[in-house]
Amino acid sequence: MAAERILFVDHTGQLGGAELILLDVAAGRTDASVFLFEPGPLSKALAERRLEVVTSKWGEGLARFRRDSSALAALPLLGRLMAIILEIARAARRHDLVYANSQKAFVLAAIARLLVRRPLVWHLHDIISAAHFGRLQRRLQIGLANACAAKVIVPSRAAATAFIDAGGRPDLIEIVPNGLALQPEPCLRSELRAMLGLPTGPLVGVFSRLAPWKGQHVLLQALAKLPDVGCIIVGDALFGEQDYATRLRAMVAELGLGDRVRFLGHRSDVPRLMQAVDVMVHPSIDPEPFGRTLVEAMLVGVPVVATDAGAAPDILERGRAGSLVPSGDAPALARAISAVLAGAEQLQPQLDYAARRARSEYSLARMLDGIGLLINKVQTGAAA
């Protein structure tokens, strides 16, 4: 019988999409602990699920260290990184398997493995490409994965292809699509808007953390071409992208959108808020590794317009479950939003199909089964 003591490792205490997945994967594993580089809302959420949390003494602020920083800029951090590696090794000693949930967590856990050898699984939530990682970083990630990962779990074919194209071993990859257990509470769009003080006219929304690659600026450019359309921007800069948040607010003023665009900040009721809008826009300018918000919109029955890159075309079944537009193309995005708003009455069959697809392909149970099987396989292989 395979042992069950798993050490989950994540670099951030924030609640990004990858950490929301970690919460679901770790929940219910009573013998598991979670090692975090820093405290934050994630620590609280884990504690609420009765999971033991070990927080590094040295990791605070590392999450905001730019992923593409040069090796030279990273030099002063080396001492702290070494200290975290020792902390991970110490924690790993009490566990049978280490499960790294982010790339920084994976790199440090892989080095810690030199001290305490445990099977290491990497749940890779990123597209490994030059857009997000420096050359050295990519070589380090891939080199370590090829040398010592027992398995690399990715949420989409897009993330798998990027890993392999970057030199990763294809046999390590296991695609387990993200799954959500959302039980939408249906509410009337008009009532919700009245409650939230939102306008009654056409309204679109974007529900992602604020970061340049999430492309909120493309939506603002599109809105400049749609004079009657209002917009809510939900989400905050979680990983140090404050400059971008400031730039977005400046753009709203420059484009004269002040009376049509509202920033609602980070919210914990995204699926409910989504039901207030006529279109959920997903404008990422780099390929999205997965995109939980796509599935959330499908589940609550809101039309989606998304960038045709990364996992979006798979999730939206190449346009059958939502509209796809070229990346970074504001005029095309404006046209697609107009088309959805104009054809709202005919959209119901597409929305029903999207909700069915989200429930069957992207359920939490399916994701947990996939990951559970894989962990058992890794543990059995390690014990053999």
Residues forming contacts to ligand UDP in the complex (CB under 6 A) are 16-18, 20, 207-209, 234-235, 266-268, 270, 290-293, 296
Candidates 6, 10, 12, 16: give the one binding ligand GLC (CB under 6 A): 16
Which is nearest to 152 in space by CA: 109, 191, 189, 89? 109
**Biggest CA-to-CA distance, the chain:** 65
- Pick one of ligand GLC, ligand UDP, none as the site partner of residue 296 (Cβ within 5 to 8 A by kind): ligand UDP
Of 12-20, 109-117, 341-349, 353-361: span binding ligand GLC (CB under 6 A): 12-20
C-alpha–C-alpha distance, residues 175 and 314, integer Å? 13
Between 4 and 314, name the residue whose CB sits nearer to ligand GLC. Answer: 314
- Pick one of ligand UDP, ligand GLC, none as the site partner of residue 137 (Cβ within 5 to 8 A by kind): none
- Contact partners, residue 374, CB within 8 Å, separation at least 6: 121, 151, 153, 174, 176
- Pick one of ligand GLC, ligand UDP, none as the site partner of residue 208 (Cβ within 5 to 8 A by kind): ligand UDP
C-alpha–C-alpha distance, residues 222 and 216, integer Å? 10
- Residue 148 beta carbon to ligand UDP: minimum distance, rounded to whole angstroms: 26
Candidates 7, 9, 15, 21: give the one binding ligand GLC (CB under 6 A): 21
Between 114 and 181, name the residue whose CB sits nearer to ligand UDP. Answer: 181
What percent of the chain is helix, strand and coil (3-state, nearest 5)?
50, 15, 40
Query: Considering CB under 6 A, how many residues would be counted as binding ligand GLC?
Result: 12
In the range 273-302, which residues lie near ligand GLC by CB under 6 A? 288-292
C-alpha–C-alpha distance, residues 176 and 98, integer Å? 18
- Residue 152 beta carbon to ligand GLC: minimum distance, rounded to whole angstroms: 13
Q: Does 176 bind ligand GLC (CB under 6 A)?
A: no
Beta strands per DSSP E along the chain: 6-10, 33-36, 52-55, 97-100, 120-123, 151-154, 173-175, 203-206, 230-234, 261-265, 279-282, 304-307, 323-325
C-alpha–C-alpha distance, residues 107 and 146, integer Å? 12
Do residues 321 and 315 lie in contact, with contact meaning Cβ atoms separated by under 8 Å? yes
Q: Does 329 bind ligand GLC (CB under 6 A)?
A: no
- Pick one of ligand GLC, ligand UDP, none as the site partner of residue 337 (Cβ within 5 to 8 A by kind): none
Of 11-19, 49-57, 114-122, 220-228: span binding ligand GLC (CB under 6 A): 11-19
Between 211 and 325, name the residue whose CB sits nearer to ligand GLC. Answer: 211
Q: Which residue is nearest to ligand UDP (CB)?
A: 17
Q: Does 29 bind ligand GLC (CB under 6 A)?
A: no
- Contact partners, residue 253, CB within 8 Å, separation at least 6: none
Q: How many CB atoms lie within 10 A of CB 343?
A: 11
DSSP category for residue 125: -
* Bridge partner list, 84: none
Alpha-helical (H) ranges within 149-281 are 157-165, 189-196, 216-223, 242-254, 270-274
Between 95 and 292, name the residue whose CB sits nearer to ligand GLC. Answer: 292
Q: Does 18 bind ligand GLC (CB under 6 A)?
A: yes
- Pick one of ligand GLC, ligand UDP, none as the site partner of residue 155 (Cβ within 5 to 8 A by kind): ligand GLC
Q: How many CB atoms lie within 10 A of CB 297?
A: 33
- Residue 47 beta carbon to ligand UDP: minimum distance, rounded to whole angstroms: 18
In the range 127-166, which residues lie near ligand GLC by CB under 6 A? 155
Judged by the rule CB under 6 A, the positions of this chain that interact with ligand GLC are 16-18, 21, 125, 155, 178, 288-292
